[in-house]
Amino acid sequence: MTVGIGVTGATGRMGREVVAAVADREDCEVAFAVNRDPDGGDVDGVELEAAARFDALLSEREPDAVIDFTGPESAVDYARACAETGVAFVTGTTGFDDDGLAALEDAGAEVPILHAPNFARGVQALVNVVGQAVRNLPGYDVELVETHHNGKRDAPSGTANRLLEEIEENGEFAGRTHGREGEAPREDGEIGVHALRAGDITGEHEILLAGNDEEVRLTHRAEDRGVFAAGAVDAAVWIAGRKAGSYDFADVIDE
Ligand SMILES: NC(=O)C1=CN([C@@H]2O[C@H](COP(=O)(O)OP(=O)(O)OC[C@H]3O[C@@H](n4cnc5c(N)ncnc54)[C@H](OP(=O)(O)O)[C@@H]3O)[C@@H](O)[C@H]2O)C=CC1
Ligand SMILES: O=C(O)C1=N[C@H](C(=O)O)C[C@H](O)C1
């Protein structure tokens, strides 16, 4: 079976990668690719359609899944449209507020929804090991540094927030300190969080644990956005045809 995939934000940094990743595989095909101002253009030879026609395209082309890397507002709109038409929805978009996350959860009651802040398999491995490191090193100072390109909207990154949740679940901490300035000595138990934005850096996350005259640095560096696109396409192929529910990238990897 060939999995038909609709792509949103198709002219974005990630949308382009997703179209290319789908085209590279034999088990799926692009059902449609939308952006807000298609202007007769294409991505990798795939004709662009107007995002305003998204709902109509779901009915006309009947994709098995949609892959979305856009912004939190549009991702929620796209998820709702998929829920109404019975199409599975995979989103790598980050920066959702609580209402946005709740809207994705609601859509998951109608169709399969998979939301992951990072589709790199190495990041999933990092999430798994960071909890163990924190458990093994109680009382060590923890700092997280994430570095991304200068066009990124949200900070800290979705991945950083996921890693912070894992850190907090596995140790006793006083809270997060976002950057430091002026008279700002480190408080016991705080987790320092630092977001760097420069150039076209794909995405780096480092957790530093220090104490007891030693330091541990756990680092993931994505060298190409293709790694995220490949994971998202794996997720779309995996989710197509599944029952309604809210899924995670760990479900794809662990199966
Ligand atoms: N989970 C993961 O592995 C990864 C997640 N991301 C996340 O993916 C998202 C997109 O990142 P990136 O590709 O770099 O961003 P870009 O800004 O390069 O692209 C975003 C695309 O989304 C579209 N878009 C934005 N807002 C709207 C809207 N209101 N309605 C319709 N379309 C909209 C834009 O479309 P148009 O061209 O029409 O303006 C644009 O093509 C971010 O949230 C980022 O954090 C990024 C990389 C990996
Ligand atoms: O915006 C990006 O580029 C990325 N965003 C994701 C995030 O916010 O964690 C994942 C990746 O690091 C790239």
148 assigned to active site? yes
Q: Determine the Cα–Cα distance for residues 106 and 47; give it in Å rounded to an integer.
A: 32
pLDDT per position as a tens digit, 40-85: 899 999 999 999 999 999 999 999 999 999 999 999 999 999 999 9
Mean pLDDT of the chain: 97
Please give the average per-residue pLDDT across 214-236, as a whole number.
98
In the structure encoding, which two tokens stand for residue 108, read together? 């998951």
Position 106 scores a pLDDT of: 98
Q: Which atom of ligand 1 is nearest to the CA of 232?
A: 3
Q: Determine the Cα–Cα distance for residues 28 and 9; give it in Å rounded to an integer.
A: 19
Angle, CA 93 vertex, CA 247 and CA 75 arms, to 5°: 85
| Beta strands, E only, 88-189 | 88-91, 112-115, 141-148, 175-178
Instruction: For strands 88-91 and 190-197, give the pairing.
Output: unpaired
Q: What is the largest CA-CA distance in the chain?
A: 63
Q: How many angstroms separate the alpha carbon of residue 118 from the centre of ligand 2?
A: 7
Position 226 scores a pLDDT of: 98
Please give the average per-residue pLDDT across 97-114, as a whole number.
98
Question: 243 exposed, middle or buried (CB, 10 Å; 0-12, 13-18, 19+)?
Answer: exposed
Position 69 scores a pLDDT of: 98
Instruction: Give 181's strand partners.
Output: none
Structural domains for the chain? 3-119+225-254 (3.40.50.720), 121-222 (3.30.360.10)
Position 38 scores a pLDDT of: 85
Percent of the chain predicted with pLDDT > 90 = 98
Q: Determine the Cα–Cα distance for residues 58 and 84; give it in Å rounded to an integer.
A: 10
Determine if ligand 2 sits within 6 Å of the CB of residue 91: no
ipTM of this model? 0.98
